[in-house]
Each structure stands twice: as structure tokens, then as C-alpha cells.
Structure 1
Amino acid sequence: MVEQERQIDQSRVVVEVWADLGCPWCYVGKHRLEAAISQRSDADRFEIVMRSFQLDPTAPQELEKNEISFVRSHPGSTSDDLRRAEGQMRAIANKEGLTYTIDRWNANTFDLHRVVQYAGDQGRGYAFFSAVQDGFFGGVLNPFDPEALVGVAESVGLDGQRVREILAADEYADRVRADREEAVELGSTGVPFMVFDRRVGAPGAQKVTVYSQLLEQVAGPASSERAS
């Protein structure tokens, strides 16, 4: 039995995903990664681990409209620049079956990442972040409302009261910062940034075929594709 458990552990493949909430390419990239994994007959071998990376640590705590956030964080840009970029991203997302709302609100994501760290300790980090991001880009969730985060947390099996306690304090702050520092040390200059089995890194949102190749590189070929 011990030997069998050891073999199972050795077959497990961890894919670490550094991302931030309002990053459109993170939204698209994580769905492409999921698609690549789901195509494999051994999809259960893979565990996606969520890591924290704030793109704009200086973002205000107060809500601001998407265009204001964009112009503030991209000196020299205009609202028209945002509309063009967002229109292109919406077309890309929609083509892949994803809902994409342009008129979003933004704010500092540090508190969200602190909850992600807690969720990760419970084995639900990726599930929690993914649900929050999908709701955010889908236009059905305000992730800067503490009670909204509590609701998502409970929907993925986390303790809502524990989330309230974390949001009311400063727990996990050091780990959020450490995650970002580690990504930079590994060569990341932005997100999404994915590391496969601690052997190969993939910056940016790659195509599904590229993620499939990387999965095969670190885990070997699957016996056959999953039936659709």
C-alpha cells in the first residue's frame, strides 16, 4: 500500500498560475490551460495551484471605473485606447466561449489575494480565484465587496466567517508579497505566468496547443484524449 501511494504521489503534476484579477489575458489564459488539461485522459493527475501577483500594488482601495483605472496606470493613454483594447479582448474571449464585460469597476486587489492565500491552504485557491474572476469579467460579481467574496468562498467549500476575519485584519499579507517576488525571481515580468512541475515556465496567455505541449513535456503523453 505504501509503495502504491508513493507511485500516485510521483504521478501528480503541479501547475502554478500567477495571475491578477483584472488581467484579461489571465482570464483567457487560465481557461486555455483548463482546456488543455481536460483534453488529456489523465487530467486528474494535474493540480492547478493559484499564486498571487498584483499588477498594480499602488491601485486605490476605492472603486474606480475601468477607463479611469486604465488611463491612470498607462500614462499617455486615453479612454479611446481602452475601448479599442477592450473591444479586441472581448472578441478574443467571446470566440473562446467566455463572457467579457467591458464596463467593469476596479480597485486594489491585495485583500483578494490574501483570501486566495487562505483558500490555497485549504486546497481551494484556484477554485476560489477562478470563480471570482469569472464572475468579475462576466459582470455578475463585485469582488471588492467583502460579502461577495464570502459568498464565493462558501460556494467553493470555504469558511465564510474565516474569510470575514481575514479581510478585517492583515493576515497573509507577507505571503502575497512573497508570491510576487518569487515570480519575478523565476523570470516573470507580468502575468499570466505559469510554471509546470517547477521545470518550465510559460509567460503570457499561450494557445491551448502550446499548453498541451508543455503538459506533455513535463508529464509525458497521455494514453488517449478524453472523449468530448
Structure 2
Amino acid sequence: MEPTATPTPTRLTVDVWADVLCPWCYLGEQRLSRAIDEFRHGEDVELRVHTFQLDPQAPATVMPTLTYLADKYGAAPAQARAMEQDMAHKAAAEGLRYEVDRPASNTFDMLRLVHLGGEHDVAFDYLRAMQAEVFSGNDDAFAPDTLVRLGEELGISADASREVLATNRYADAVRTDHDQAVRLGATGVPFTVLGERLGIPGAVSTAQYATALDQAWEQIHG
């Protein structure tokens, strides 16, 4: 008599929408990653990354983040710095480097490269690598050479990255991701959907992500 095969558990999908320049995405991804690592069914979680450009009108030139925030929100420089220093403390609590005086620029090209990363199964890693460059204060974080180098470190050829940067490839994919999130009710990022049914707006705590993983797992497995 042939032994009965053990059925493979249905994988739990975790869809995350994020932008490179978004501080709360930076923190939220760290917390979600930790929750998945500690989840008892973590090996059966499929993390799927989607892009969501928060500010399509952001200038293509690189400028100090504090200048960008002050211009965008009409905040006084001191107020912008205080807000960023508060975020820096939150990031430090997650073990993340976070420089208040860091560069800012338009992220559309970066998000197109995230989709290239998806073709190589490293979309999340590429996104996180770009964020690490930005939030660590690298003035060259938005430079093509930096973005190409990060891709190479993940196994993406320099030619492939440069081809994307030189064309409009994946532009429609970025817009499609954004529109999908809006249809699902997202007004900003991070935005997370577990099991294609349980939505989490914003960056919640690691414990809250863990609870959501448990709930979503029970929903799809009964």
C-alpha cells in the first residue's frame, strides 16, 4: 500500500505596497519581515511587493529631505527637523539606520527597477537595498551608478538595469500597481493585504503584524 502523501499547505500571500522614499514603509517592512521570520508557518508565506509612488510631482533633482518636506508641506525647517528626528528614534528602535540629513528626489525610476527586480525574484530585496542607501544618507542614492550596483549585488546584470533606466520600461507596471492599491482602498503606504482579504493600512507594530498573520492563516486554512 502506497503511503498517503501529506498535502502541501496553501501558501499565505502577503502583498505589500511601498515607496522607496516613505519612512513608514522603511519601518513597516522591517517589522513585517521580523513577524514573518518568527511566524510558525513562515516558510509558507509568499511576500509580493508592489509599488506606490507617493509623490509623482517630486522633482527629479536631488535635494535635502528637510528642504523637500518644508516645501511640500509648508512646514518650518525646525518643525521638519523635529519630525524627522522623531522618525530617526523610531527607526533606531528597529535597528535601522536613519539619517535626518539625507537626499530626496523623485522615485519613479527606482520603482521601475523594483519591477525589474520582480523579474529576478528580488523585488523586496532591491526595494530594501535602495531604501538603505537613501535612509543611510548616501548623497548618491539616486544616481544611476548606485542603482545599477545594487542590482548587480542581487544578481541583476548592469545592462538590464541600465536598459530600464534608459527607457520607459515598467512605467505602466508602476501605474498599474498604484491603481490597484487605490481600488483596494489604499490612500497611502505602506499598505499590506494578507491572504487577499485582510488589509492593513500603515505601519503597525511587529506584534500586530504577527497577529494578522495568524488571523489570515486561520482564515485560509479553517
Output the TM-score relative to the length of structure 2.
Answer: 0.92
From 191, 194, 197, the counterpart of 1:196:
194
Judge conservation of contact 2:103–2:139 (CA < 8 Å) in 1. no
Q: Deviations over 1:21-76 (max 9, x none)?
A: 111111110000011111123322112211111110001111111112102211x3
Paired residue for 1:154? Answer: 152
Amino acid paired to 2:155? G
From 78, 90, 109, the counterpart of 1:80:
78
Paired residue for 1:17? Answer: 16
Amino acid paired to 1:69? Y
Describe how 1:77-156 pairs up with structure 2 within 5 A.
77-140=75-138, 142-156=140-154
From 171, 183, 186, the counterpart of 1:185:
183
Q: Distance in 2 between matches of 1:141 and 1:72?
A: 19
Shift of 1:128: 0.7
SS in structure 2 opposite 1:169?
coil
Q: Distance in 2 between matches of 1:138 and 1:106?
A: 12
SS in structure 1 opposite 2:199?
strand
Q: Distance in 2 between matches of 1:162 and 1:4?
A: 42
Q: Relative to structure 2, which stretch is displaced further, 35-44 or 166-175? A: 35-44
Would the alpha carbon gap of residues 4 and 136 (structure 1) be closer, same or farther in structure 2, given more than 3 Å must change? farther
Paired residue for 1:54? Answer: 53
SS in structure 2 opposite 1:11?
coil
Describe how 1:208-219 pairs up with structure 2 within 5 A.
208-219=206-217
Paired residue for 1:42? Answer: 41
Judge conservation of contact 1:132–1:141 (CA < 8 Å) in 2. no
SS in structure 2 opposite 1:123?
coil
Shift of 1:4: 6.4
Amino acid paired to 2:95? G
Q: Deviations over 1:206-226 (max 9, x none)?
A: 0111100111111249xxxxx
Judge conservation of contact 2:52–2:178 (CA < 8 Å) in 1. yes
SS in structure 2 opposite 1:198?
coil
Shift of 1:16: 1.1
Q: Deviations over 1:116-161 (max 9, x none)?
A: 1111122111111011112221224733111111111111122221
SS in structure 2 opposite 1:87?
helix
Gap regions ≥5 residues in structure 1: 222-228
Would the alpha carbon gap of residues 67 and 141 (structure 1) be closer, same or farther in structure 2, given more than 3 Å must change? closer
Q: Distance in 1 between matches of 2:113 and 2:125?
A: 12
Judge conservation of contact 2:102–2:139 (CA < 8 Å) in 1. no
After the TM superposition, which parts of structure 1 deviate over 6 Å for at least 4 consecutive aligned residues? Answer: none
| Number of aligned positions between the proteins | 216
Percent identical? 37
Q: Distance in 2 between matches of 1:18 and 1:116?
A: 11
Judge conservation of contact 1:141–1:148 (CA < 8 Å) in 2. no
Gap regions ≥5 residues in structure 2: none
Q: Deviations over 1:96-134 (max 9, x none)?
A: 211111111111100111111111122111111011112
